[in-house]
Every structure is written in C-alpha cells, then in structure tokens.
Structure 1
C-alpha cells in the first residue's frame, strides 16, 4: 500500500515537473538561460569525462568533489534552487512525509541539471578500466547522483532554518559572502594552497568525502576488492537514506511550523512623517531577517573579496573593502519597494507620503552602511600601508554611498519586481517568487550602475590627488538628491500602478506585451544579448578594474590570471583599456538589445512596460 502510494505520488509529481518545464521553455528569456546553462554544463561534463579518459584519478576525484559542492552551494545563489513544486502546495493532501519527500526527490530528477550531472558521472564508468568495474560504476553513479540532489535539497532546507533566526541569518550571510567572494578572488587561496605542495592532500580529502565514495568503489572493483565495493555502495545508500530522512523532517517543520507574533519591543514615537518613515525603515533593517542577511552579506563580501589576496601577501586590495561593500549593498537593495509587496498600500494611502518615504529609505541605507564602510575603509587602508590609496578611496566612498542611496530608490520605483509578501514567505526564505531571474538581472545591472557613480571622483583623484574628495562628496550628494527626487515624483504619479503590480504581478497579456519585442528578435541575437549581460563583468572587473587598481596602488608583483599584468610598459594600460571597452561594449549591446526590444513592443514605451 505504502509502495503504491509512493509510486503514484512520484509519477504525478514527475508529470507536474515536466509540464512546468515545458511551460518554461515557452518563455524566451528563461529558455535562453536554460540553454546557456545547459551548454556550459555540457562543456564541464565533457571536461570531467576527458579527465577520466586521461586516467588522472587524483584530478578526477577532486572534480567530482567540485560537482557535489556546486550542487550544495549553487541553489543558495539561485533563490533556493528550482522549487517549481513547493512542499507547501501539498500540505492539505494526506501524504506521509517520506512519501512526499521521495516524490519531490524523484521529480527533481526531471530537469536539465540532473541530466548533465549524470553525464559527468559517466566518468566513473570510463575510469573503471575493467568490465567488472564498469558494471559497479552503474549503481555507484546512480547513488552518487541521488546523494548530489539530496545534499542540495538538505542544504537549502538547513539554510532556510538558519534564516529564520537572527544568529543563523548572520552565519548564513557569512558563508554566502565567502563562497561568492571565492568565485572571484579564490585564485589567491588556490595559489597559496598549491604553492605549499599539498595537491595530494586535496585528493585524499576528496576521496574521503562522500563525493569520492562512488569512485573508490569503482577502483576497488578494478582491484577485485569486493568487500570494499559492497561497503562503499552500502555507505552511499545509507547516506542517501539519512539525508532523505533529515530532509523529510525539515519538510514537516517547514509545512507545519507556526510563528507566533511577538509584541514590539518599542513603539514608534516619531512626531513627523519623515521621522515615522525613517523609524520604520531602520526597524526593517534591524528586525527583518532577510534585510539583516543582505546587510551582513554585503559587508562580509567586501571584506572577503579584498582580504583573500592576503593569502599570497597582497595588501593592495585592502583599501577597497569599504567601496566594494557599498557596491554590493546597493545591488542587493535594488528592489526595496518590490520587497514591500502589498504593504506598500499603507504608504500609498497616506497623502503626501511619497517624498518622506523615499528620503527615509535613503537615510536608513546611509545609516546602515555609511559608518561601517567608512570604518572598514579607514582601518584597512591604514593597515595596508599604501598611502597613495588614501585620496582614491576617500574620494570613491562618499560618491558610491550617495550614488547607491539614490539609485536604489529610483531603481526600486521604476523597475520594481513583484516578490512574495513577507507574511506569505514559504519555509524557504531564499525563494522570493516566480520572478527570481528578473530580480537577479536587476542586481547585475545595479552592480555596474553603482560602481560607475564614483568615476568622476576617481578621475579627479588620479589627476589632482585630494581634490577628488570634495568632488566625491558633491557627486554623492547630487546623486542622493536627484535620484530621490525622481523616485518621489514617480511614486506620486504612478503609485497605484506600482501597487497593482506588487499585488497581482503582471497579467499574461502584460507579460506577453513585455516580451513581444524581445521574442521577435532572431534567436542568435537574444542568446548573444543574454551572454553579454551574464559575462560582461569578466573583462570589465577582473581584467580591467582590478589590474588598474594594482597599478595605481603600486603593486607590481602579482600577475595571477590578469592578462594586462603580463604585458610590459604602456601595453599594460592598453590591455586594461581594451578589456574595459570590451566589458562595457558587452553590457551596452545586451542593454540596448533589451531596450530596443521593449520599444518595439505593443504599447511602445519603456516607461509603460516598467510600470
């Protein structure tokens, strides 16, 4: 009876998952990202198989460990992973937790990522070397794939639990920030690690990790050690069962836990509209765990990003930890009104509240990030010993703070993305609704926009030293004032339309109108535009901005993967300029493609679409 129920549930959930995937493929934007991700995954899977064919077992077992790590940490940066079938959808059905979790696990196999991982795990068959080892590789790779998926689901579930308590949200933010910073600056840790000649230790650690148990079983079969083969396969099965049990328990907690309302610790005592709005915003940053998570994440990312090069003795990045934190904070705060959801009606229904609310959000942002980033900048610049960096960072920081404080409200009003209301958040706080891809696109655009606000101050500081500081202050104040004024006017004129968008989302007709111009473009142009927006940061930041910072701060020792630093004399600046031009051109091409596509859409204007 239980087996039949589990089979029926799994069959139904798989059909639902496939139907959702077919629906997603009809959206050209999502199709572009799915195809791009699939092609990149196939290249990585092919590389894994190539490593296995070469017979380099130490490298192969490390690569398999990276695959499992990707399954664990990847969903943490993708809004909690693919939760098309949320557990909350099935709370009213009389399904035992094990049946539901098993069905969701089987449904998770019906996707692009599991298929690509299965192709990568075929490297186990190739690495066997004998017929017996190849036969053992079949159950080993299947168990390994189940462990990958279960580890991913369990990580997201644990992460969601952490985000529901303050200390857990801080820990989760620190882990998230470290992992993201490692993707950009991990080269320094890798160089330091490799230079100590411990590659063998890494391979041994990868064999001990669960990602290496399937590989060890295949190798044991090749040696004829069948006792070890049985033990390792049983260990994989037990591990999968334990993770399934733990995930089932967390699903029960997620779908049944209730959170009692607590009495406010301190009531609002403000006597003016601006004071009330400011107090409300400060409480949002200190009491909403997702707001706090973003704040800790942004500051920690700036610190990790600029301190990782210390592993190879490089201090020239330290002065830029504060500015890097501001850029990340601005991008993470680019959807403030979208995060409000239907609670925005309280602001809309209060006459004359637009300007005080916008200014309050700006002040709250400056109070949260201004003192902390200033202290980080002062301390780390002093520690670095690069005295030439003082006018640069003290010019850039106020410009970035003011630019970010202005851009976040303007972007939130003009390009709000509907997200799940705070009181309707699922047990997975990482998932903000069906528009996660649009939210991430907004974050990427804001990274570039916020970073460019310090350009005038930096140019003056480079040519006139300390004169860049007043220019940075002036540009910061102007950005804060002008973009806040624009956002307040927009709220006054289009507030009801914004509330409708946040309450109901875009209707199918509006969604079709929004994507009509883009869908009319040739497929190659759509794909190229998505590629340029997704990868334009590579030539712009690590290949142009970072080498330029190294040269301006007098660091001539580190080369790593920075192409410009391998050149001589003036050719270094030539390569930096070319890389910057390439990155900006990629962003310009992608942005103009989307802009012109929206202009061609029925109804016409970008402003109408953004509303």
Structure 2
C-alpha cells in the first residue's frame, strides 16, 4: 500500500523535485562518507568530532523535518486502520517497515556508512563495532522521527495543544539553528572535539570506533549497547503508540473554532464594503485558523533568527540587514495556496463572480497587513540595539516595499492558478500545509523565488549604490515595481476566478 501510494504521488513536478533532491542528497551523503574516510586517515579526534556533528545534524533534521515539511503525512497513518479487525503489534511493525519506503531512508543509510568509512580508515579492526553501530544509528534516526510524528499527532488533539506544539517547534528550531554554530565553535576550540558530541546518541557510533581505536574496547561496546537499548525503547514506544490508537484511549479532536463573542463587532465602517468584509474575514482567519498559523511558522522562525539571535551570538552567519528579505520570502512561499485553505467553502465565491475582485484584493491587503510587522520588527530591533545603525535605511525599505508588493501579486495569482487541497488540522500529523501540492504548485514556488530575486535585487542595489538622498530612488523604484505586480497579478487572479471557478473548486476538494 505504501509503495502504491508513493508511486501515485511521485508524478509531474513532485517527481522532478524528488529526483533533484535525491541527486543532491546522494552527493551530500557521498561527500560525508569521503570526509569520514579522510578524517579516519588523519587519526584526529577533532576530525572525528566533525563527522559526529554531521550525524547529529542528520538526526536532528529527521526529528524535525517530518513534522515541519509534511513528510510524515505522506506515509500510512495508524488512524486509517483503527476500524479494521487487526492486531496492533503486527500492524505497528508493518507500518514502521512501510515508512522506510522513499528516498530519505536510502540517503540516510548512505550517510550513516560514514561510520564504517571512518572505522576502515582509522583502524580496520574496529569494523566489528562500526557495522552494527551504523545499522543501529540508522534505526535510531528513523525510529525517533516516527515516534515524534505519531506522538505529536496524538498529543495535539485540541487547538491549544496544537498552538503549544507550534510554539515549541519554533523555539526548538531557533535554538538548534543557533546551537550548531556554538557546537562547531566549541569543537574547533577544544582539543578533543569528539568528547563534546559523544553526549548525543547520534554520534555514539563514531565514539565507539574512536574508543576502540584507543584500546578502550569496553567503552566502545558500551556505546553500541547503548544504541541498541535506545532503539529497543523507541520501537517499544512506537508499538505502544499504535496500541493506544487501537485501544481508543486517544481523546477526540476538538473543533478548531472556539466560542467567539460578537460583542463590539460592528458591521459598519470599513467592514461594510465588500473588500472590507474580506479583509476582516481574512484577518480573523490568520489569527484563528491553526493552519494559517502553520504557514507563519517559517517567517516567524526567520524573524527570530534575524532579529534576536544576532544580538546574542558573535560572528552569526546571517546578516541581519537582509532579515526582511528572508522573512518575506518565507511568507510568500507559505501563502501561495490561499484558496486551498478554503476547501469546500470556496463555492461561496464561485457562485458570485462579481465578488472575485473584492475577494482577491482583500486577501492581498490582509496578507500584507499580517506579514509586514513580522518582516519589519527584526530589522528595527537589530538596527536599534545591535549596533548596525540606521545608515542606508533606504536599502531595507526598498527590499520590504518591493517584496510586499510583488509577493501580494504572486500569492493571489498562484492561489488561483495552482491551488491544491489542504486537510483539516485534526487530520494532519505535521505542521505543513503543502502535502498535496501538485507539480504546478511546486513550479510556482520556484518561479516565485526567481521573480522575487529579479525584482528586489535591482531596487536594493539602486538604494545601496546611489549617494546621499538619491538612495531613496531605490525605494521609489521598489514601490513602483511592487504596485505594478500587485495590480497586474491580482487582475489575472480575478480573471481566473471569474472564468474558471469550477477548476479551482475541483482542485481544492479533490482529496
């Protein structure tokens, strides 16, 4: 079943993306193996420490990315079998084995062979520990990822729980991103870099080889046995989670909407116009729909990394002056499927062609109102408190204005041209809303990145290179370009809504 599901989903643009990612992953994993062999020949604990850090990075990505990217939603889910007369234990083993199908697991297995390569070059006799350690490390990485995904789907059954999990993942992602630079700096400064990473189980395979190479075979065997114990605990936890799903002890998911008070709500003023009504509705959805908050996950994370972390970390490898560019890029990528979030309720728009203009313009304006503070705040914080100053302020202004205008046009046109269905939050095992994206949607994502670069860079260069007050010509050019894209692409989206609403309705409800 999993193989059939994988083949049916690997078509068109998704297949091309899988092939490209597979090729890049293959070269990266091969490079890690070659680097491990070189580190083994160097016979340096510090070099082995960097290989251990690489394995730790792979393990952390496996722990986080399935929940962030939606990869966990592409596998068979336990809830799909709870009504069948099946035993939980055999099904748990079958689901775990089925989840190994796909490109990520073979690439991870190739990367984990770096333990074997390191042992072969460091001391061939340690291969007796390296081979089982590599297998156990692979099982540890995959099992931890699966347990986190299922546990998250069972724990986040209420709206508050999903919001808490979302905040936890944002904080964890930012902490891990900053921690990797601190860890690399500590390894470079320490004489024994391997001793620093051995506290993390993903590096225990390298640690076992290194200890055995120094004649400390008992410590090496203990590290391998520790990996085996962790694997056994994770697999037992996996079976327990599956058994819990079959036993019916998981609380039913609560509805996404809580009780809302209408006190103080006025239909007059700006809300009385068609466009104002759309803006009010969209702003309410951005604040109330948990799936919209999922879409803000990456912009908020990059806002923290560009606006907060540079204040506390020296030599941070991210120029905060370009923080708005990254935040807005992530915000545009996240909002290219607004009509997919409507789902079956899209027919309300499809039945009233005259409402297309107000709907598109209202969505554009509400998106800009939501993402502008997220993009501006980190730039202001870093320039005010980080010593960057407000010189050449026209550059971030030009970048922000251009990307908001162009991005508003892109999200409107892409949402109408390449929509795809988004499941309800209670049926999702991840924070991703892009699991059902089509090849056209993937193409739109890459195309939008290119358009943003081509329209933003000239304005930024103009603001950066012109002397004195002339630098603000770059901001004026950015405003003109943003306005053109906002209006023209929005007009194309309106025409699409009026001409073929049936295609959009089918696309967002076909799941």
State how far apart, in whole Å, the 1-side matches of 2:204 and 2:241 are.
26
Residue of structure 1 aligned with 2:164, choices 153, 163, 167: 167
**Greater Cα offset, 397-406 or 424-433:** 424-433
Please report how far the alpha carbon of residue 398 of structure 1 lies from its aligned counterpart in structure 2 after TM superposition.
2.1
Kindly indicate whether the alpha-carbon contact (under 8 Å) linking 2:421 and 2:509 is maintained by their aligned counterparts in 1: no
- 1:50 and 2:37 correspond: yes
Kindly indicate whether the alpha-carbon contact (under 8 Å) linking 1:182 and 1:305 is maintained by their aligned counterparts in 2: no
Please report how far the alpha carbon of residue 52 of structure 1 lies from its aligned counterpart in structure 2 after TM superposition.
5.5
State how far apart, in whole Å, the 2-side matches of 1:249 and 1:375 are.
44
- Name the counterpart of 2:482: 476
Residue of structure 2 aligned with 1:206, choices 197, 200, 223: 197
SS state of the match for residue 198, structure 2?
helix
Matches within 5 A, 1:257-268: 257-261=251-255, 262-267=257-262
Please report how far the alpha carbon of residue 182 of structure 1 lies from its aligned counterpart in structure 2 after TM superposition.
6.8
Residue of structure 1 aligned with 2:501, choices 495, 505, 510: 495
Distance 1:71 1:345, change over 3 A: same
SS state of the match for residue 454, structure 1?
helix
**Greater Cα offset, 384-393 or 435-444:** 435-444
Please report how far the alpha carbon of residue 103 of structure 1 lies from its aligned counterpart in structure 2 after TM superposition.
2.0
- Name the counterpart of 2:393: 390
**Greater Cα offset, 283-292 or 201-210:** 201-210
State how far apart, in whole Å, the 1-side matches of 2:375 and 2:315 are.
23
Kindly indicate whether the alpha-carbon contact (under 8 Å) linking 2:136 and 2:227 is maintained by their aligned counterparts in 1: yes
Please report how far the alpha carbon of residue 201 of structure 1 lies from its aligned counterpart in structure 2 after TM superposition.
6.0
Kindly indicate whether the alpha-carbon contact (under 8 Å) linking 2:296 and 2:331 is maintained by their aligned counterparts in 1: yes
Kindly indicate whether the alpha-carbon contact (under 8 Å) linking 2:33 and 2:113 is maintained by their aligned counterparts in 1: no
Please report how far the alpha carbon of residue 34 of structure 1 lies from its aligned counterpart in structure 2 after TM superposition.
6.0
Matches within 5 A, 1:361-510: 361-383=363-385, 384-416=387-419, 418-422=420-424, 425-430=427-432, 432-435=434-437, 439-455=441-457, 457-458=459-460, 460-461=462-463, 462-463=465-466, 464-504=470-510
State how far apart, in whole Å, the 2-side matches of 1:440 and 1:330 are.
13
Kindly indicate whether the alpha-carbon contact (under 8 Å) linking 2:307 and 2:382 is maintained by their aligned counterparts in 1: no
**Greater Cα offset, 215-224 or 445-454:** 215-224
State how far apart, in whole Å, the 2-side matches of 1:196 and 1:205 are.
7
Residue of structure 2 aligned with 1:150, choices 140, 143, 147: 143
SS state of the match for residue 16, structure 2?
helix
Please report how far the alpha carbon of residue 147 of structure 1 lies from its aligned counterpart in structure 2 after TM superposition.
0.5
SS state of the match for residue 466, structure 1?
helix
Residue of structure 1 aligned with 2:129, choices 136, 150, 174: 136
Please report how far the alpha carbon of residue 499 of structure 1 lies from its aligned counterpart in structure 2 after TM superposition.
0.8
Kindly indicate whether the alpha-carbon contact (under 8 Å) linking 1:274 and 1:360 is maintained by their aligned counterparts in 2: yes
Kindly indicate whether the alpha-carbon contact (under 8 Å) linking 2:69 and 2:431 is maintained by their aligned counterparts in 1: no
Deviation sequence 1:272-305 (CA, Å, 0-9, x none): 4333322221121111223123325313314414
- Name the counterpart of 1:355: 357
Instruction: Give the length in aligned residue pairs.
Output: 483
State how far apart, in whole Å, the 1-side matches of 2:101 and 2:456 are.
46
> RMSD in angstroms over aligned alpha carbons?
3.7
Distance 1:20 1:121, change over 3 A: same
Please report how far the alpha carbon of residue 492 of structure 1 lies from its aligned counterpart in structure 2 after TM superposition.
0.9
Deviation sequence 1:404-449 (CA, Å, 0-9, x none): 2222111211222x13332673333436434377655533332332
Please report how far the alpha carbon of residue 349 of structure 1 lies from its aligned counterpart in structure 2 after TM superposition.
2.4
Kindly indicate whether the alpha-carbon contact (under 8 Å) linking 1:334 and 1:411 is maintained by their aligned counterparts in 2: yes
**Greater Cα offset, 403-412 or 258-267:** 258-267
Please report how far the alpha carbon of residue 355 of structure 1 lies from its aligned counterpart in structure 2 after TM superposition.
1.4
SS state of the match for residue 71, structure 2?
coil
Please report how far the alpha carbon of residue 210 of structure 1 lies from its aligned counterpart in structure 2 after TM superposition.
0.8
Please report how far the alpha carbon of residue 146 of structure 1 lies from its aligned counterpart in structure 2 after TM superposition.
0.9
Distance 1:90 1:246, change over 3 A: same
State how far apart, in whole Å, the 2-side matches of 1:422 and 1:302 are.
27
Please report how far the alpha carbon of residue 138 of structure 1 lies from its aligned counterpart in structure 2 after TM superposition.
3.2
The normalised TM-score by structure 1 is 0.68
SS state of the match for residue 285, structure 2?
helix
- 1:288 and 2:289 correspond: yes
Please report how far the alpha carbon of residue 361 of structure 1 lies from its aligned counterpart in structure 2 after TM superposition.
0.9
State how far apart, in whole Å, the 1-side matches of 2:345 and 2:243 are.
29
State how far apart, in whole Å, the 2-side matches of 1:113 and 1:495 are.
37
Higher relative contact order at CA 8 Å, sep ≥6: structure 1 or structure 2?
Answer: 2
- Name the counterpart of 1:7: none
Is there any run of 5+ residues in structure 1 with no aligned partner, and where?
A: 1-15, 506-611
State how far apart, in whole Å, the 2-side matches of 1:291 and 1:302 are.
17
SS state of the match for residue 353, structure 1?
helix
